[in-house]
């Protein structure tokens, strides 16, 4: 399929990990470097030596002449709905699109607003435990074109996929898993319809589709797509009263499982389905989940001081994922740290949960008070701050002995910190300084 890229003028948008990976892949596959153009808004980029002969267009005019190009390879970070990009949508490609055009082994694609990382990790681990030659590619942090050896004879590739990747993607793959769909990234997709359509696109051209039953009910997917089996409470793969079922037959129970929260039962059901498809003994999965630890930053216990428990849930960057944490700990939560970055989220359901579980103290980081504070109907003890040390001092002062302080943001926090890892690292460092 790379024959279609030869003797064409190719634009690569943005010189981040994806851009570098794409350029390297094109050059490795004998695409003439004179036909490759790098477009980036940064005018102070330092190119790697091997890329110095590439044509470059920088600064504010980098998207002005897209009609000049035959193929435009877009970074996931660049919105499909940018008016200049959308105007040339027929020419668009991506690193992920190139992957599917050139890789023909069995691929398992997994997406959802929240939950996809744990699901993907668990699926990868069970395939590896069953001695399949498997590679796991995370979301958008590890570009697929540089992370995978196209000449290797993998049994399976497990792909955790974002909505950015799935927008307008055309693929053929073995299994697709669709989790929950909540409003997210609406600044990129422009509205919830576009976002949900991008997520649902994962079901196109798959041999087998596995869908969370609430998502199936909400979007009526079984009426529109083939080969769908649902999981959770309805029909074929389900978890009821501490037992995992396939077609109403108990496979095993949930005793001795480290993944202790309810939402992790969904992840196990997905893995159960994968085992069923590829003929892995269910006892291998039962053995694995006894030792499988939750991912970092997802309701992760980090410290106790004076019998106050501190939990890191920094990866919860939507109201729905924070609600899942509230549903887990319930009335034990005494203090919660919240953020707000405008991705057009609605917080009414979150506010109702705060009231339902009688949360006493709220730490509001920028720009939370602009949207969350005005929705609070009852009187809370709250502090507005951009200082993590001040926030932790507040939590220690007002959280009752035996209760929980939860860092669960309900929104991204890029207005203060670079990413959730940086935020978590500071939170953990300050919390653990109390001895």
| CATH assignment of the domain containing 304 | 3.90.190.20
Exposure string for 344-368, b = 16+ CB within 10 A, e = fewer: ebebeebbebbeebebbbbbbbebb
Q: What is the per-residue pLDDT for 336?
A: 93
What string of H, E and C letters represents the secondary structure of 248-306? Answer: CEEEEECCCCCCCCCHHHHHHHHHHHHHHHHCCCHHHHHHHHHHCCCCCCCCEEEEEEC
Res. 123: pLDDT tops 90:
yes
Q: Tell me, what CATH number does 67's domain have? A: 3.40.50.720
Dist. CA 405–CA 400, nearest whole Å: 9
CB-facing half-sphere around the CA of 32: CA atoms within 13 A? 7
Averaged pLDDT, 168-192: 89
* pLDDT at res. 298: 66
SS3 call for 433:
coil
Query: Where among 291, 318, 339 does a domain terminate?
Result: 291
pLDDT category at 141 given cuts 50, 70, 90 is low
pLDDT at 74: 93
Quick one: 107 and 180 in the same domain? Answer: yes
| DSSP one-letter code for 168 | T
- What pLDDT, on a 0 to 100 scale, did the predictor assign at position 414? 55
pLDDT-wise least confident of 120-134, 165-179, 271-285, 306-320? 306-320
Report which of residues 409 and 33 the model is more confident about.
33
Strand 249-253 to strand 243-246: parallel, antiparallel, or no bridges (unpaired)?
Answer: antiparallel
- 401 and 326 in a single domain? The answer is yes
Q: Do 309 and 287 belong together in one domain?
A: no
CA dist., res. 214 & res. 224, Å (int): 16
What Rg value do the Cα atoms of the chain yield, rounded? 23
Same domain assignment for residues 46 and 164 = no
Res 360: pLDDT = 92
Q: What is the mean pLDDT of the chain?
A: 85
User: Measured between alpha carbons, how far is 245 from 273 in angstroms, rounded to an integer?
Assistant: 10
Q: Is 107 helix (H, G, I), strand (E, B) or coil?
A: strand
CA-to-CA distance for 258 and 232, rounded, in angstroms? 19
184 with 308, same domain: the answer is no
Strands, E, within 123-265: which ranges? Answer: 134-137, 156-160, 173-178, 206-212, 228-232, 237-240, 243-246, 249-253
Q: Which two tokens stand for residue 205?
A: 């051209």
Q: Are residues 426 and 335 in the same domain?
A: yes
340 and 199 co-located in one domain: no
Does 86 score more than 80 pLDDT? yes
Average pLDDT of the segment spanning 211-237? 84
Residues 159 and 277 in one domain: yes
**Which residues, including other chains, have CB under 8 Å from residue 227's CB and lie 6 or more apart?**
206, 207, 208, 209
Least confident of 271-280, 340-349, 373-382: 340-349
Query: Which of 42-56, 382-396, 421-435 has the highest average model confidence (pLDDT)?
Result: 382-396
Which position has the higher pLDDT, 20 or 413?
20
Check whether residue 53 and residue 182 sit in a common domain: no
pLDDT for residue 23 is more than 80: yes
For residues 357 and 374, the model is more confident at 357
The domain boundary, picked from 60, 93, 126, lies at: 93
pLDDT in tens, 382-420: 888 888 889 899 999 999 999 999 988 777 655 444 445
Per-residue pLDDT for 431 more than 90? no
Same domain, 147 and 50: no
Q: Are residues 178 and 89 in the same domain?
A: no
Is 367:415 a contact under the CB 8 Å cutoff? Answer: yes
Separation of alpha carbons 80 and 89, rounded Å? 8
Average pLDDT (39-56) is 86
Q: Domain holding 242: CATH number?
A: 3.40.1190.10
Q: How many domains does the chain have?
A: 3
pLDDT at 218 over 80: yes
> Is the pLDDT score of 342 beyond 70?
no
The pLDDT assigned to 417 comes to 45
pLDDT in tens, 254-268: 877 766 666 677 788
SS3 202: helix
In eight-state DSSP terms, residue 295 is P
In the predicted structure, residue 175 carries a pLDDT above the cut 80: yes
Contacts of 82 (CB under 8 A, 6+ apart): 63
pLDDT, average across residues 218-246? 83
Split at pLDDT 50, 70, 90, the class of 370 is: low
End residue of a domain, out of 268, 291, 314: 291
Give kind and range of the element (H or E) at residue 95. helix 95-102
Q: What is the residue range of 332's domain?
A: 300-431
Is the domain of 122 the same as that of 255? yes
Mean pLDDT to the nearest integer, 135-145: 79
Which has the closest alpha carbon to 210: 196, 229, 234, 223?
A: 229
pLDDT band at 294 (very low <50, low <70, confident <90, very high): low
**Of 130-139, 156-165, 212-221, 294-303, where does mean pLDDT reach its minimum?**
294-303
- Paired with 231 in beta bridges are 212, 237
């Amino acid at each position: 399929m790379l024959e279609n890229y030869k003797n064409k003028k190719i634009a690569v948008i943005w010189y981040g990990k994806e851009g570098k990976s794409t350029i390297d892949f094109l050059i490795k596959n004998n695409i003439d470097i004179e036909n490759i153009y790098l477009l980036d808004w940064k005018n102070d980029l330092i190119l790697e030596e091997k890329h110095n002969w590439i044509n470059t267009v920088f600064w504010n005019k980098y998207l002005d002449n897209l009609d000049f190009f035959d193929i435009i390879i877009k970074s996931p970070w660049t919105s499909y709905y940018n008016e200049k990009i959308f105007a040339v949508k027929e020419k668009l490609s991506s690193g992920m699109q190139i992957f599917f055009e050139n890789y023909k082994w069995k691929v398992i694609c997994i997406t959802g607003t929240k939950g996809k990382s744990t699901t993907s990790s668990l699926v990868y681990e069970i395939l590896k435990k069953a001695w399949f030659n498997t590679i796991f590619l995370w979301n958008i942090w590890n570009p697929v074109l540089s992370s995978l050896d196209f000449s290797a004879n993998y049994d399976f590739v497990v792909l955790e996929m974002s909505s950015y990747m799935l927008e307008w993607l055309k693929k053929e793959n073995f299994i697709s898993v669709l989790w929950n769909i909540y409003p997210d990234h609406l600044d990129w997709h422009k509205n919830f319809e576009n976002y949900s359509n991008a997520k649902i696109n994962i079901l196109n051209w798959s041999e087998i589709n596995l869908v969370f039953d609430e998502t199936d009910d909400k979007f009526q997917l079984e009426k529109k797509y083939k080969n769908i089996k649902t999981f959770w409470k309805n029909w074929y793969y389900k978890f009821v009263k501490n037992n995992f079922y396939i077609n109403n037959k108990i496979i095993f129970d949930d005793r001795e499982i480290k993944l202790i929260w309810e939402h992790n039962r969904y992840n196990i059901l997905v893995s159960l389905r994968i085992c069923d498809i590829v003929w892995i003994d269910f006892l291998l999965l039962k053995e694995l989940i006894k030792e499988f630890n939750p991912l970092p930053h997802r309701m992760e216990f980090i410290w106790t001081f004076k019998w106050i428990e501190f939990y890191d849930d920094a990866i919860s960057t939507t109201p729905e994922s924070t609600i899942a944490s509230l549903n887990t700990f319930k009335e034990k939560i005494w203090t919660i740290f919240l953020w707000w970055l405008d991705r057009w989220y609605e917080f009414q359901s979150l506010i109702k949960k705060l009231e339902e579980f009688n949360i006493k103290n709220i730490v509001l980081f920028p720009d939370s008070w602009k949207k969350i504070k005005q929705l609070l109907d009852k009187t809370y003890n709250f502090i507005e701050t951009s200082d993590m040390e001040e926030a932790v001092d507040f939590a220690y002062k007002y959280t009752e002995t035996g209760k929980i302080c939860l860092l669960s943001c309900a929104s991204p926090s890029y207005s203060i910190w670079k990413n959730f890892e940086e935020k978590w690292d500071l939170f953990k460092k300050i919390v653990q300084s109390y001895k």
